[in-house]
Structure 1
């Protein structure tokens, strides 16, 4: 029996793309908008007098990362752009970038597409 070689994916070659489309950029900051239209959210809005739409303001680095997510740039390329822009302020760049992208992915705001791997896949 021949063992299959386990495919190793390089996370830096993945391509993030935006799933959440309700957002805008103001004064260099990105704001993500969320409508609270599910039944339980409507009840909670009524109960605590919350607005129908809420927003999340991303910080400077988070806003820049969001703007670089275009469905074409890999995680590696985004890290390179951030390094050029922020220098050592963004060190350790890939560790922070990957943690942030994983957070956005867990929230369902972005997803990943497997890009070309370094092995020539």
Structure 2
């Protein structure tokens, strides 16, 4: 982890928490599907005039599904990385960069919060 800058190191200390409004399920194949309600003025127009769905179903890949199920609001990203490395090995490389980006994306879409944000 020596090649990560201080900001990345601090990011790995963040504790992710699943957003309460996100409903999710685990399919028989072990993959996670997030059900996100599309609400708000513009979504309402899109639903009415363009027949856009009221709920979007986001299907996570195997690694994303594995990580999503590990989020417990207690472990930080660095701690979660050990489980990801054990399960996926080299497939997860570059591990810290991938995890940081994955959690940034989840956070940007409002799928997770960080404990210090809650």
The bucket for the TM-score relative to the shorter chain is 0.7 to 0.9
Give the alignment's TM-score, normalised by structure 2: 0.82
Segment drifting more, 55-64 vs 29-38: 29-38
Instruction: For residues 50-92 of structure 1, give each alpha carbon's deviation from its aligned partner in whole angstroms, at most 9, with x where no partner exists.
Output: 2222211011111111111110111111110000000111011
Q: TM-score, normalised by structure 1?
A: 0.80
Q: Indicate the residue corresponding to 1:17 in structure 2.
A: 17
Deviates more, 1:92-101 or 1:42-51: 42-51
Counterpart for residue 81 of structure 1:
83
Q: 1:88 & 1:30 partners in 2: Cα distance? A: 22
**Alpha-carbon distance in structure 2 between the residues aligned to 1:108 and 1:43:** 21
* Alignment gaps of 5+ in structure 1: 1-7, 115-121
- Alignment partner for residue 38 of structure 1, among 37, 40, 51? 40
How many residues of Structure 1 are paired with residues of Structure 2 in the alignment?
107
Choose 1 or 2 for highest CA Rg.
1
